Amino acid sequence: MQLYSRQILLDGWDIEAQEKLKLANVLIVGCGGIGCTTAELLARAGVGRITLIDADTIEISNLQRQIGFTQQDIGYYKSEVLAKRLKQINPYIEVEFFTEQLSSSNAVHLIAAQDLVLDGCDNFETRYLVNAQCKALNVALISASAIGFKGQLFMVAGDSACYECLFPKRQFSDESVSCTETGVLATTPNVIASLQAHHALLYLGLNQMPLLYTLLLWEGLTMRQRFLRFDHDSNCPICQATSSANAV
């Protein structure tokens, strides 16, 4: 109660909302610039069970923005180091980690148990896979990405429009769009991760989904935030598959 007292004090956030956080299972895909911050905020807020997955080890170039890591952690697995940090921050939650990539062989097992998946990974292939599995298993997803001075965020849940509706695979498969190629300011992924974690708390505690059918775009040079409404793409194979499965 003391640990979460400032939250429970909030108008509109009571013990019931806090209990919902405690019971929640959340998977965080990618423990980089976005995943580090999102995971830490959810651990501090009291999300009861957090699972981390990332196959990468920590490199010196990560430390500029990935706030879960220090110089001493270089060479170790990101998910393992981050899991240890979360337990130090909040020993009252459960934390699990996987030092592998999310793939078609482990995705169903990992995602089926979740109430919410938070994607902050660094490649399109994983993003499409996460979206497809969340849709198929009817698990909510909040997808966040950041590059350069820009970030974006939206939510997928139930029969809402999905990642592939917004970014059809045939148009968005350019893997050269990455931090390795393009660069990223230290703050950009942390702004977007904070918004992602915030949305996760709204959803888990209060069942609110302001970013359903809505893409939030954050433009770091002007500090403007815009909202782009989007709908189902009638050609989206993921939504077609899930709507026909529901019809059966």
Binding site for Zn ion (CB under 5 A): 162, 164-165, 236, 238-239
Distance CA 215, CA 218 (A): 10
Residue among 40 and 164 whose Cβ is closer to Zn ion: 164
Shortest gap between Cβ of 171 and Zn ion (angstroms)?
A: 14
CB atoms < 10 A from the CB of 186, how many? 12
Residue among 122 and 164 whose Cβ is closer to Zn ion: 164
For tokens 């062989």, name the residue.
105
Backbone torsions φ then ψ of 57, nearest 5 degrees: -105, 160
Integer Rg of the chain from CA: 17
Backbone torsions φ then ψ of 69, nearest 5 degrees: -120, 155
CA-based diameter of the chain, in Å?
54
Shortest gap between Cβ of 245 and Zn ion (angstroms)?
A: 13
Shortest gap between Cβ of 232 and Zn ion (angstroms)?
A: 6
The phi-psi region of residue 190 (left if phi > 0; otherwise alpha if psi is between -120 and 50; otherwise beta) is alpha
Residue among 191 and 239 whose Cβ is closer to Zn ion: 239
Residue among 86 and 239 whose Cβ is closer to Zn ion: 239
Residue among 197 and 236 whose Cβ is closer to Zn ion: 236
Backbone torsions φ then ψ of 179, nearest 5 degrees: -65, -30
CB atoms < 10 A from the CB of 208, how many? 12
Shortest gap between Cβ of 135 and Zn ion (angstroms)?
A: 7
- State yes or no: is 179 an active-site residue: yes
Sign of CA dihedral 168, 170, 175, 178: negative
Shortest gap between Cβ of 168 and Zn ion (angstroms)?
A: 9
Of the candidates 36, 121, 162, 179, the residue annotated as catalytic is 179
Catalytically annotated residues: 179
